[in-house]
Structure 1
Amino acid sequence: MRADARKNYEHLLTVARKVFTEQGNDASLRDIARRAEVGLGTLYRHFPTREALLEALLRTSFGALAKRADELQASSDSADALITWLQEIIAFTHEHRGVIAPMVSAIEDHESALHASCVTLRSAGAALLARAQADGKARADLDGSELFDLIAALAWLREQPSHASRADRIFGVISGAILARRP
């Protein structure tokens, strides 16, 4: 990539990150281009779809969440590791308002720019779940896809202003349902 094109690319990402933080992931791409002081065509040359822009913005964060799951695999208590990672990924989705809907769509759409990153996250969570199941600390009848669905539901709940005050309590209920009953 030419130096000027690379500069535009990085500048667009910086501006998009600010706009998405302010307005959520449904922010206007036209507004992003305007605030970056580039034409809409320049934005689309670098990011042909909203998903491509989201993928570029979220790639590093998704990688960090997957790496965090790997780090938690080494922790002494598999149940605590799973719950900690669930809390962290739900907090991440809350910080990135509106990201959960594209993630849920992308997980099933092999053509989506976000698909590979979302599959990586689902696999990271599934590995933590499998470890907790092997230790007898998580229910055996749950799989990684269902765990991803629960993350999406909890993240959506936290995004709803009228339900946000109950989000922590509901997280506790759901995490209690994921974990196996201890004698």
Structure 2
Amino acid sequence: MFRFARRSGASLRSGSAPWDDDPVTDPTPEPAAPRRRADVERNERAIVDAASRVFSASGVDAPVREVAAAAGVGMGTLYRHFPTRADLMVAVYRHQIDECAEAGPALLASAPSPFVALLAWVHRYVDFLGTKHGLGNVWQGDAPGLTALHQLFLDRLLPVLSSLLDAARESGEVVADVRPYELLRAVGDLVAWTVHDPDYDVRHIVTLLLTGLRQEQPDWEQTDAD
């Protein structure tokens, strides 16, 4: 679960140890130069896509062989592209962060109203966060790498949420005073409970939260004074 750190400057490359669940015994031969030829890039995309599916289904500690099998590549190919689990996770989460960020403008252009676009994007954000349980465990001993990934998360997603909120306010569908960071974190905190309770419908709770933004909020200081 992201902890919404506001620090920046650390490298996204992790210094963690190599994969420890499946040692390479028969590595795939190195591809001919140039290294970044089409088949190499295709393999990398296949590994990232497969890892995204496997991590979503089995968690970030899933055996590396599951990822290689899902990608249709050999173990040597996977290790050559991603020497450590953290290296692969950086690639997966950067890809997912980019997809989530790019979905905002697309939803705003296609949804029947800005609020519908906002709700659809936040639901997508909920799904994105659902794959992040256990992320911190993989980065044990590499706090700078985890902090850098958090910062990338904020840098890419906060502007998207801000534009969606602005559009919903301009249309009159959102009237509550809430900052994008507050909403991003509130939804993240709600998602955190999902891993502990399978009967907890986080999408339903998040929908209730966003629906509340369509109403003026009470002045709690004035209410307390009364």
The TM-score, its normalising length taken from structure 1, stands at: 0.66
2:215 corresponds in structure 1 to 180
- Asked if 1:70 is matched to 2:105, the reply is yes
Residue 115 of structure 1 aligns to a residue whose secondary structure is: helix
2:191 corresponds in structure 1 to 155
1:113-143 CA-to-partner distances (Å, cap 9, x unmatched) read: 4632542122211210122233343245311
- Asked if 1:170 is matched to 2:222, the reply is no
Contact between 2:101 and 2:160, CA under 8 Å: does it hold in 1?
Answer: yes
- Asked if 1:79 is matched to 2:79, the reply is no
1:41-91 CA-to-partner distances (Å, cap 9, x unmatched) read: x73x64466444223123343323222210233345222221121122213
Output the amino acid matched with 2:116.
Answer: D
Of 165, 171, 174, the residue aligned with 1:135 is 171
Contact between 1:54 and 1:114, CA under 8 Å: does it hold in 2?
Answer: no
Of 39, 51, 57, the residue aligned with 1:16 is 51
Runs of 5+ unmatched residues, structure 1: 103-107
Residue 177 of structure 2 aligns to a residue whose secondary structure is: coil
Give aligned pairs, total: 173
Instruction: Single out whichever of 17-26 and 82-91 deviates more from structure 2.
Output: 17-26
> Larger C-alpha radius of gyration, 1 or 2?
2
Of 91, 97, 108, the residue aligned with 1:56 is 91
Change (3 A) 1:8 1:60: closer
**5 Å matches for 1:79-158?**
79-94=115-130, 96=131, 98=133, 112-113=148-149, 115-158=151-194
1:181 positional shift: 4.4
Residue 60 of structure 2 aligns to a residue whose secondary structure is: coil
Identify the structure with bigger relative contact order (alpha carbons < 8 Å, sequence gap 6+).
2
Runs of 5+ unmatched residues, structure 2: 1-33, 138-143, 218-226
2:75 corresponds in structure 1 to 38
Output the amino acid matched with 1:167.
Answer: V
Q: Identical aligned pairs, as a percentage?
A: 23
Cα distance in 1 for residues equivalent to 2:49 and 2:115: 37
1:105 corresponds in structure 2 to none
Q: CA RMSD in A?
A: 3.9
Output the amino acid matched with 1:142.
Answer: V
Give the helix-richer structure, 1 or 2.
1
Residue 193 of structure 2 aligns to a residue whose secondary structure is: helix
1:176 positional shift: 2.3
Cα distance in 2 for residues equivalent to 1:110 and 1:97: 12
